[in-house]
Amino acid sequence: MRLGVKFRSASLPVHVPPRSKIACGAPQVVTDLRGPGNIAYNAPPLITSSMALALASFERILQSEAVAILGSAVARIDQLGTYNCREMAAYPGWVSEHSYANAIDIGSFTLKNGKSIDVLRDFDVGPAPPNKPNAFGAGSTLGHFLRWFTSTLTRSHLTTIHTAAPIHIARTAAQITS
């Protein structure tokens, strides 16, 4: 356990599936067992080690914002998927970050007080203050973080928070602290 992240080594060999033109897999993959936010997942995320560090940053900010905005920490995240060898649905011929275990789709959060936050129902990407009750608005720290951290918002991601491209972590931290 380092940086508050508990993980187990995993294997996801780089390969080209039969009848495919894209390569999938990653050399450094882990199963994320527990992050610094002490949040349970419906299924342990299978992700790259760099994505595990990005997810740790996400958890820290998520917990801080949940307590500040909603009055309760997050107990559980329902994730809808990490590794999936495929092209991007919106851009045929482009490889999805899911093909490299470098993305996670989040559908909902359950708070420690029992309330559920559904991304489609409750997340407001509009101007602050949020127009929806119990929403993490775009004007919140989490909203700013997600605008940087979420690399794409496509029709396939209107019901989930799609986090990928952990390279944005350094830029996000600079944006939030400046």
Report whether pLDDT(45) > 90: yes
Buried b (16+ CB within 10 A) or exposed e, 112-122: beeeebebeeb
Q: What is the dihedral of CA 72, 164, 42, 145, to 10 degrees?
A: 0
Residue 30 lies in a domain: yes
pLDDT digits (tens, 9 = 90+) for 110-157: 999 998 887 767 665 554 444 444 455 555 555 544 544 444 444 455
> How many Cβ atoms from other residues are within 10 Å of residue 138's Cβ?
18
Structural domain of 42: 6-177
Confidence of residue 95 (pLDDT cuts 50, 70, 90): confident
Residue 1 lies in a domain: no
Residue 129 lies in a domain: yes
Residue 82 lies in a domain: yes
For residues 56-75, give the mean pLDDT.
87
* More confident of the two residues 33 and 161: 33
Residue 3, judged by CB atoms within 10 A of its CB (0-12, 13-18, 19+), counts as exposed
Q: What is the dihedral of CA 59, 75, 150, 123, to 10 degrees?
A: -130
Q: Which residue has the tokens 């809808």?
A: 80
Split into its structural domains, the chain has a count of: 1
Residue 70 lies in a domain: yes
Confidence of residue 54 (pLDDT cuts 50, 70, 90): confident
